[in-house]
Structure 1
Amino acid sequence: MDLQQQFEAAATASKTLSQKPDNETLLQLYSLFKQGTEGDITGEPPANPFDFVAKAKFEAWQKLKGKTKETAQEEYVALVNKLKNN
């Protein structure tokens, strides 16, 4: 199975985890997924200063700037596998 197939399988598996991950882990999953599919973040941060969820997502993804899509996909797959085994 190549990396893209593993990534897609992990994305599917992430929706059926036995326990919901904590918010920090959810942000990590989100940012790795976005970096793995779209690459570096583009655009402006959320305009609404009180939209804490959007701001947290933006900042988490922004921290991965410069990480290759392949590396993000590998880390995403590893994280999902770790969560599945817990």
Structure 2
Amino acid sequence: MTSTTYPTRTAVDIAVGVLIAHRGCSEDAAFDELAAVSRERKVGLGRTARALISFVREHHDALPDSDLTAAALRWSHSTPYRGAFGTAA
């Protein structure tokens, strides 16, 4: 599968949206989880975000239909909003 390389800010916003959709958590909690994984693995935040996006794209068929992850991946990078769910930057 071809991987799209997003700028770091965009990748983080999409990954946060993915976590919000999957976990049903707040934007702050999603960012904190992403940052914690990044610190634990000693990998940059952008690389961690891109890895999550890649994983979700690869396994999107296994996600429940009610999950909004597909929308997060499709639209979050093309709006003036932070994340995929319309929270202002």
Which category describes the TM-score, using the shorter chain as reference length?
0.3 to 0.5
Q: With structure 1 as the length reference, what TM-score do the two structures score?
A: 0.35
Relative contact order (alpha carbons < 8 A, sep ≥ 6): 1 or 2 greater?
1
TM-score (norm 2): 0.34
